[in-house]
Amino acid sequence: MKFSQEQMERYSRHIILNEVGVKGQIKLLESKVLIIGTGGLGAPAAMYLAAAGVGTIGLVDADTVELSNLQRQIIHSTKDVGKPKVISGKETINDMNPDVKVMTYHEWVSSANITDIIKDQDYDFIIDGTDNFPAKFLINDACVLLHKPFSHAGIIRFSGQTMTYVPGQGPCYRCVFLNPPAPDLVPSCKEAGVLGVMGGIMGTIQASEAIKYLLGIGDLLTGRLLVFEALDMEFRTVKLASRTNCVVCGENPTLKDLIDYEQRACEL
Amino acid sequence: MHNRDGFVDITDVVCPITFVKAKIAMEEMESGKILEVKMNDGEPIQNVPRSFKDEGHKVIQVVKNEDGTYSVFIEKDGL
C-alpha cells in the first residue's frame, strides 16, 4: 500500500521509529483488535489504538453511557449519556481517525456469542476491558480455545493489574487464578470505587501490549503479572508459571465448552 | 552526479516529514540500490543524511545544486 500525504503526516512519529517504520505502520493499518468492554479500561485502549492507526477495531458492550461513567470512561462525553457505549465509542474513533473501521457489538459476551464475535473479523488480538470475573474467565477460555492472544487487566480503588496471554508462550489467566471467587466475596458495584485514572494507566498499557504484539517488537507481559499501586506510585512484576494441569491450556485440557459463571445482578 | 535508482524531493515538506517522506521512498527500494534525495539547506541537510546513517544506509555523495538545494545519494543498507 501507498501512504497518502495525510497518512504520512498522521503517522510520522511512528514511521520515524526504527521499530515501527513504514512496514510496521502498514501492519497496524492491516490489524484487527477486539476490545471487550468500552468502560474504564476499554475507552483509553480504544482511543490509543485508533490514534495509532489499528485498521479495524471491534467494540463489545451492551451498556448505555451513564453520567457516573464519565469520571473515567474518556471515550464518552456528556452529550452521549443514554447512548449505547459502542455507538458513542465508534463516533469518537471516527472523529479521531478516518483510517479506522469500527465494528460494534451491542451485547454482553457470553458462552453463546463470544466465539462468533472473535471470529467475525478474525481478530488478531483481544483486549479484556471488562469489570467482572465471569467475563474475564470467559474471555480467557475463549481465547485459549481459539488460539488468540489477549491482554487481561483489572482495576479497583487505587490498584491495577495486567498480564498478556500469547498461545504457547506462558500461562493463561486460569493458570494463575484457577476459578472465579465466590460471588459474595466480590465487592458489589456499590462498594467498589475506583480512581478514574486507573483505567487510563492500565488501559494504555493494554494498548501498548497490543501494538507490540502486532508489530512483533519488545517483551510482552507473558509469564508476568504487572501490578500497579497508585497510592505508593509503585509498579512491580510478579513472575508467573504455566500450570501443566490447567483445565484449559494444560497438557490434558478438560474444559472444551465455555462456562457462564454467575454474578450479582447489580454488576451487570 | 552519481547514478540513481530512485528519486524523492523533500524540499516541499518540513521536519519531521522531511525524513518520513525520504524514508518511505527508501522503503520502496531494494537493498544496494541508490536513492537520490533532494533537500533544502539548513535543518534537512544537517539531519536527514545522519538519520539515514543511523538506520544503516550509506551516504555516497552530496552535491550542492545551483539553486541552493542539495542532492544526496544514499545506498540502501550500505553500512
Residues of A in contact with B16 (CB under 8 A): 12-13, 16
d(CA A159, CA A239): 18
Burial class (CB in 10 A: 0-12, 13-18, 19+), A114: buried
Contact predicate B29/B53, CB 8 Å: no
Q: What is the mean pLDDT of residues B46-54?
A: 95
pLDDT band at B50 (very low <50, low <70, confident <90, very high): very high
Contact predicate A137/A261, CB 8 Å: yes
- List the Cα angle A160/A164/A167 in 5-degree steps: 155
Tens-digit pLDDT profile for residues A7-30: 999 999 999 999 999 999 999 999
Backbone phi, psi, residue A146, to 5°: -95, 5
User: Over 80: is that where the pLDDT of A191 sits?
Assistant: no
| CB interface of B with A, residues 30-49, below 8 Å | none
Residue A267: its pLDDT value, please? 43
pLDDT band at A207 (very low <50, low <70, confident <90, very high): very high
Break chain A into its structural domains and give their ranges: 31-267
Q: Which of B17, B54, B55 sits opposite A8 (nearest CB)?
A: B17
Buried-exposed string A159-171: b where 16+ CB fall within 10 A, e elsewhere: bbbbbbbbeeebb
Domain B6-75 has what CATH class? alpha beta
Residue A264: its pLDDT value, please? 57
CB pairs under 8 A between A and B: 26
Tens-digit pLDDT profile for residues B14-28: 988 999 999 999 998
Looking up cell 508476568 gives A224
Break chain B into its structural domains and give their ranges: 6-75
What is the rounded average pLDDT for all residues in chain A? 94
Q: Which residues of A touch B (CB under 8 A)?
A: 3, 8-9, 12-13, 15-16, 18, 21-23
pLDDT band at A268 (very low <50, low <70, confident <90, very high): very low
Q: What is the mean pLDDT of residues B54-78?
A: 96
B21 is catalytic: no
Per CATH, the number for A31-267 is: 3.40.50.720
Tens-digit pLDDT profile for residues A32-71: 999 999 999 999 999 999 999 999 999 999 999 999 999 9
What is the least distance, in Å, from the CA of A3 to any CA of chain B? 8
Tens-digit pLDDT profile for residues A113-149: 999 999 999 999 999 999 999 999 999 999 999 999 9
Quick one: what percent of chain B has pLDDT higher than 70? 99
Helix crossing, B17-27 with A21-29: angle to 10°?
80
Count CB-CB contacts under 10 A for residue A202: 25
Residues of B in contact with A3 (CB under 8 A): 24
Residue B7: its pLDDT value, please? 97
What is the least distance, in Å, from the CA of B24 to any CA of chain A? 6
Tens-digit pLDDT profile for residues A149-172: 999 999 999 999 999 999 999 999
User: Over 80: is that where the pLDDT of A190 sits?
Assistant: no
Interface test with A, best of B14, B19, B21, B77 (most A CBs within 10 A): B21
d(CA A220, CA A164): 7
What is the rounded average pLDDT for all residues in chain B? 94
Of A91, A13, A1, which Cα lies nearest the Cα of A52? A13
Among A45-49, A263-267, B9-13, the least confident range: A263-267
